[in-house]
Copies of this chain bind each other. A is one copy, B any other.
Amino acid sequence: MEHLFRKIERRDTLTDEERRVLEQAVSQVIDLPARKLIVREKVQLDHSNLLLSGLVCRYKDLPDGQRQILEIHVPGDFLDMHSFLLKKLEHNVATLTPCRIAFFPHDRLKAISEEHPHLARMLWLGTLMDAAMHREWILSVGRRSAIGRLAHLFAELLIRMQIVGLASDSEYMLPLTQVDLADATGLTSVHVNRMLRELRDTGVMSLRDGRVVIEDLAQLHRLGGFDPGYLYLDKQPR
C-alpha cells in the first residue's frame, strides 16, 4: 500500500493509526491479467478497489461501438472509491496491463466514515482529485488540438507516475496501444499515429516499446498547455 500512502502524504499527513486502519480494511488481494474487466457498469457493488500495481482505465462505450477512456489509473489510485456511495458505476473499469488489486469492502469503508472522520476526508479527497482530473480531461477533448491532447496526457502521467516513484525525470513505462491513446483523447488511432510521429520528429518525446521518453519537457508542456495546479500537490491539513 506504499503507493497509496505516498499519494496521500503528498497532500496531507496520515497517522500510524490511520495507516493501520487502512491496511486492515483490505479483505482480499487479487492478480489480474491485462485487458480484463474489473467493474462492469450498472452492477451492484459491495467493495471498492485499490490499484497496487499495473495500469487501469475507466471507459464508456457508445452504442455505435465508439469508446471513450475517462481516466488512466496508476498504482496507489482507488479505481472506484465512488462506488462506496454510488453503489454501482455508470462506466466500466478494466486493466490495461497485468495488475494487483486490493478489495475494500463497503461496510468497512462505512465504518471508517463513522469512526475516522479525517481518514474519511482523505478518501473523499481522492475522489475530488479524480473529479479535478476529469475537468482537465474535458478541457483537453473540448478545446485542445490533437497534438495538445496527447502532450497533456503524457505530461500528466509523468507527474502522477513520479509521485508514486514509477517515473524518472523523463521516462516511464506506458504500454498502451495507439487505439487506447485514441480512445483517451477522442481521436482516431490513425491520427494518433501521425501526431506521435510529429512529437518524435520534432524531438519532444517518443513512445516506443511501451516506454515514454521525454526529451523536451518544456515544449511538451507548451504543446499541452500543461499547468499542474489541478493535481493539488501542496501538503496541508484537510
Tell me if A70 and B135 are in contact (CB < 8 A): yes
Q: Does A210 contact B (CB under 8 A)?
A: no
A232 to chain B, nearest CB (A): 6
A50 to chain B, nearest CB (A): 17
Given the complex of chains A and B, what is the CA–CA distance between A14 and B82 in angstroms? 20
A108 to chain B, nearest CB (A): 14
Give chain A's interface secondary structure class.
helix
Given contacts A127-B124, A134-B135, A135-B134, contact A143 B186 (CB under 8 A): yes
A62 to chain B, nearest CB (A): 6
Contacts of A120 in B (CB 8 A): 113, 117, 120
Tell me if B238 and A66 are in contact (CB < 8 A): no
Given the complex of chains A and B, what is the CA–CA distance between A144 and B63 in angstroms? 11
Residue-wise interface mask of A (87-118) relative to B, using a CB-CB cutoff of 8 A (1 in contact, 0 not): 10011000000000000000000000110010
Contacts of A138 in B (CB 8 A): 68, 70, 134, 137-138, 141
Q: Does A85 contact B (CB under 8 A)?
A: yes
Given the complex of chains A and B, what is the CA–CA distance between A7 and B85 in angstroms? 15
Tell me if B90 and A230 are in contact (CB < 8 A): yes
Q: Does A236 contact B (CB under 8 A)?
A: yes
Question: A121's contact among B60, B62, B85, B229, by CB below 8 Å, is which?
Answer: B85
Q: Does A29 contact B (CB under 8 A)?
A: no
Given the complex of chains A and B, what is the CA–CA distance between A91 and B124 in angstroms? 19
Question: A82's contact among B91, B128, B142, B186, by CB below 8 Å, is which?
Answer: B128
Contacts of A70 in B (CB 8 A): 135, 138-139
Q: Does A125 contact B (CB under 8 A)?
A: yes
Which of chain B's residues has its CB closest to A124's CB?
A: B124
Give 24 A-B contacts (CB < 8 Å), ordered by A residue. A60-B136, A62-B225, A66-B143, A68-B142, A70-B135, A70-B139, A85-B121, A86-B128, A86-B132, A90-B135, A90-B136, A90-B230, A90-B232, A113-B120, A117-B117, A120-B120, A124-B124, A124-B127, A130-B131, A131-B131, A134-B137, A141-B141, A141-B186, A142-B186
